[in-house]
Amino acid sequence: MKEEEDDFNFFDDFSSDEALINNERRARMQTSLKNKLAKFSNDPLKRTTQENRTVFNRNRLLDPGHFQTPQKRQHVFTQTECNTILNQCRELTTTEWTTARHSAFPTTDIPIRDAIATLAYITDMVRERLFPQLASYFGFHPTRDLDFRDVFIVKYAADAQRGLKLHTDGCLVSFNILISHQDDFEGGGTYFESIDDDVHLTQGDCVFHDARIMHRGIDITRGARYILVGFVDTVDTLAKDKMAPKKNLREQHIL
């Protein structure tokens, strides 16, 4: 299926005049964006959240190689903290694990921010220890701009769901932290298409990346692998998304 998609080029259907118009439109957009960015401060701390997101998207658009290398951070959690989280996960009943929250690429997971109160404390740990590094690398304010779109613990097991197919995430930035000890399983890790390589972590370590990078969870062949996964976005985008269902509901009542 992928080969068929690669062979298909939407722009092959454009006439030469249409292609020229499209290229001119793209050039105008890029010039407009550059002029807009020239008015911004070079310091993310002095820009608004919306301006920081614009700069981030500029890097995606005008510099395709920007942010294409996943970043690793060691010791985000200690071994003791990871083992405590593992014990709490193992005490949960099978009914508390979900398997259908993500329709396109479902995982066996526990949403920890709202549904599982005993694990909600983990979000504060991540905000304190990882968000400043995400903000520094991607160009955001360390305490004001970013929040979770979703945060959950995924369980891969040799006798159940072993991995996850190639995909992108529906957010700005993604991360995962290895909660299991690396000796608890064989296989595993994350493959990133942008570097055509696998990233393997040790317990408590993290890898974070632009959510548009294609990646997959490599199948494990023995044991169980628990990871903490976070989808991170800007607070203004999250606020707009929360308002959208309310707006649609109001429009339905008006109709």
pTM for the whole structure? 0.82
Give the per-residue pLDDT at 105: 86
**What average pLDDT does range 93-98 have in this prediction?**
84
140 and 228, same structural domain?
yes
- Classify 176 in phi/psi space as left (phi over 0), alpha (psi -120 to 50) or beta: beta
pLDDT tens, position by position, 23-59 = 888 778 777 767 777 778 899 999 999 999 999 998 8
Alpha-carbon distance values, 49 to 5, 45, 138 (Å): 36, 9, 12
27 and 137, same structural domain?
no
83 and 52, same structural domain?
no
pLDDT tens, position by position, 115-166 = 567 899 999 999 999 999 999 999 999 999 999 999 999 999 999 999 999 9
Residue 233 lies in a domain: yes
Domain of 134: which CATH number?
2.60.120.620
Check if the beta carbon of residue 71 is closer than 8 Å to that of residue 58: no
Domain boundary at 32, 62, 92, which?
Answer: 62
